[in-house]
Amino acid sequence: MPKETKKNQKVRPPVVVVMGHVDHGKSTLLDYIRKSNIVENEAGGITQNISAYEVAVKDENGDDRLITFLDTPGHEAFSKMRARGAQAADIAILVVSAEDSVKAQTLEAYKTIMENKIPYIVAINKIDKPNANIEKTKMDLSEKEIYLEGMGGDIPFVLISAKIGTGVKDLLDMVILVSDLHELKGNPELNASGVIIEAKRDGRRGISATCVIKDGTLRAGMFVACGEAIVNTRILENFLGKPIKEATFSSPIRLSGFESMPEVGNIFKSFNIKKEAENYVTGFKEENRNMNMIENQTAYAGKTIPIIIKTDVSGSIEAIEKEMMKLNTGDIAFKIIGKGVGAINESDLKMGNVNKESIIVGFNTKMDSGATDLNETLKVRVETFDIIYKLIDWLKILVEERRPRMETIEVIGAMKILKIFGGTKGKHVVGGKVTTGRIAQGSTVRIVRRDFEIGNGKIVELQVNKLKSKEVFEGSDCGIQVETKIDIAPGDVLEAFQVTIK
């Protein structure tokens, strides 16, 4: 493997993800960029082929500069990057509508960008709309601690209309500038490594995956390993679906023929021979096995309540978590599957809908209109509060409702059968003596023969000295009619019992 030196480091194109509120124009922007920067007869079917693509932009010197866009900004891969130690995107574009200004999903996107520690550009979109208010949007961003250039901060921004293309070229120029400032580099002499963006199976190609190379070069005939999945790069295609012989950093590619499904968000590595790839997979399996052992040793054994928490401010989340953890017991505990600041939205509902046991609680926040409509179908349990102790009291009730119940069988009396008087199908008239406790009319009984339970039944009538009775106590003789499918014989014992749920 070539030694890593500054000499063989080359400038690499940026990988860009576009994020923001659902109605603020992310898809429109991506669509405009795609159609405007790729030859028309090639651009039409790109999104059907691959979930990332390259565009060429001329810089100030007139040279072509490439930018890779991830075509699915809400993609599962992006949320898994930190857990896998990878970084799918180098730069983010945060789209904010000049009409609607900052929304809850805007802040969620911003939080994700900050957690991933990647540079970003704010694109203020829909500036062509009659209700656009650019200055208000800037002020709203400042109030949320997103300080733009000229507004007390250093976050670059561009005014655009994704629909008609105003400012889009300036936005792409800004992407190149930010990329240059952060000196994105790669070594083309290394074997390629990168991130799995998408994976799927189809009848013709088998298992294929969309990948973005983050460093090195991938050549036809190499072997790629991702987790436990291996593929030979015989079928190597670019983002247009065209066969290629090699690809280097920042390029989106598609590989087909994986032996098993690679996990989206995982890092992939490439090798010159299959044995090296197999050794990598073996090491991954061993590491995974050790991690699973540790997780299993510390895993909670009781029942869990999956919960999503949404609040008005982040401090409220911490307070709720602290109080909620006090409600956990040895047999039931809350499992936080999501949390965040802002309105309860469609993403929260979809996450909660994965497990029908999930609940969503909101504190000083409500469901947005899209979520309200969606929940007419999903019917996820959502509760909102404006007083924290009422929220905690409700959670206490929920814990008690869902706490695992233990059934205990308590024997209340036993009767030894001494004589069979006869009976009809399913009902038997017998005589005997109560040896312990009491036997009552309506009791459920189990039939024991030579210390083995052979069936059960119900006492439908009870007599003492030919007089009907409701119950008979220890030491008394009696006659009973038992409803059972079992043929009772002298010497059998009927044990009356009750089930108690604790």
Total length of the chain: 502
Q: Average of pLDDT values for 54-72?
A: 83
Cα distance between residue 104 and residue 118, in whole Å: 20
Q: Where in the chain is the domain with CATH 3.40.50.300?
A: 8-185
78 band by pLDDT with thresholds 50, 70 and 90? very low
Closest CA to 412 of 427, 434, 396: 434
In the chain, pLDDT over 90 holds for what percent of residues? 49
Question: Does pLDDT of 44 surpass 50?
Answer: no
Can you tell me which residue has the tokens 């006492």? 459
Taking residues 394-406, what's their average pLDDT?
A: 88
pLDDT digits (tens, 9 = 90+) for 141-152: 999 999 999 888
Place of tokens 């600041």: 341
Give 81-136 pLDDT, tens digit per residue.
333 334 678 999 999 999 999 988 788 888 888 888 889 999 999 999 999 999 99
Distance separating alpha carbons of residues 284 and 278, to the nearest angstrom: 10
Tokens at 332, concatenated: 């039931």
In the chain, ranges of CATH 2.40.30.10 domains: 193-297, 407-501
The label of the residue with tokens 């959502």 reads: 382
Give the H or E element holding residue 289: helix 274-298
The pLDDT, as a whole number, for residue 301 is 58
CB 313 within 8 A of CB 341: yes
Per-residue pLDDT reduced to its tens digit, 252-273: 999 999 888 787 778 899 999 9
Task: Scan for tokens 């999503």, then name that residue.
Answer: 308
What is the average pLDDT across 19-44? 72
pLDDT score at 61: 81
Overall average pLDDT of the 419-441 stretch: 90
Average pLDDT, the chain: 85
Q: Which residue has the tokens 């030694």?
A: 3
Please count the other Cβ atoms lying within 10 Å of the Cβ belonging to residue 437: 16
* Residue 39 binned pLDDT confidence (cut-offs 50, 70, 90): very low
SS3 readout for 21-74? CCCCCHHHHHHHHHHHHCCHHHHCCHHHHCCEEEEEEECCCCCEEEEEEECCCC
CATH topology of domain 8-185: Rossmann fold (3.40.50)
**E strand or H helix at 311, and its extent?**
strand 303-311
Cα distance between residue 240 and residue 235, in whole Å: 14
pLDDT reported for residue 317: 79
Give 187-242 pLDDT, tens digit per residue: 999 999 998 887 777 767 788 888 999 999 999 999 999 988 999 999 899 988 89
pLDDT at position 293 over 80: no
φ/ψ (deg, to 5) at 470 = -90, -30
Q: What is the pTM of this model?
A: 0.58
Amino acid at 329: T
Query: Are 281 and 245 spatial neighbours (Cβ–Cβ below 8 Å)?
Result: no
Contacts of 380 (CB under 8 A, 6+ apart): 349, 352, 353, 358, 359, 360
| 87 close to 116: Cβ distance less than 8 angstroms | yes
- Residue closest to 39 by CA, chosen among 56, 64, 63: 56
193-297 has which fold?
Elongation Factor Tu (Ef-tu); domain 3 (2.40.30)
Single out the residue of 391, 394, 410 nearest to residue 402, CA to CA. Answer: 394
Q: What is the CATH number of domain 407-501?
A: 2.40.30.10
H or E segment at 359?
Answer: strand 359-363
Please check the confidence at residue 79 and state whether its pLDDT lies above 60.
no
Nearest to 425 by CA among 465, 374, 485, 383: 485
3-class SS of residue 142: helix
Q: How far is 191 from 216, CA to CA, in rounded Å?
A: 5
Q: Is the Cβ–Cβ distance between 207 and 68 less than 8 Å?
A: no
For residue 47, pLDDT over 50 is answered with no
Classified by CATH at the fold level, domain 303-402 comes out as Rossmann fold (3.40.50)
- Give which of 107, 125, 144 is closest to 343, Cα–Cα: 107
- 3-state class of 328 per DSSP? coil
User: Residue 321: what pLDDT?
Assistant: 85
Say what the alpha-carbon torsion angle 369, 373, 374, 378 is, to the nearest 10 degrees. 130
Q: How many angstroms separate the CA atoms of 144 and 109, rounded?
A: 13
Strands 223-226, 217-219: pairing is unpaired
Bridge partners, residue 494, by sequence: 415, 447
Q: What pLDDT is recorded for position 492?
A: 94
Predicted confidence at residue 3, as pLDDT, reads 52
pLDDT computed for residue 358 by the predictor: 93
Which tens digit of pLDDT belongs to each residue from 329-338?
888 899 988 8
* β-pair partners for 336: 307
d(CA 338, CA 360): 9
Q: What pLDDT does 406 receive?
A: 75
**Measured distance CA(395)–CA(93) in Å, rounded:** 39
Tens of pLDDT, residues 355-398: 889 999 999 899 999 999 999 999 999 999 988 889 999 999 99
- What is the pLDDT averaged over residues 326-346? 87
Read off φ and ψ for residue 393, nearest 5 degrees: -60, -40
| 413, pLDDT greater than 90 | yes
Residue span(s) of the chain under CATH 3.40.50.10050 come to: 303-402
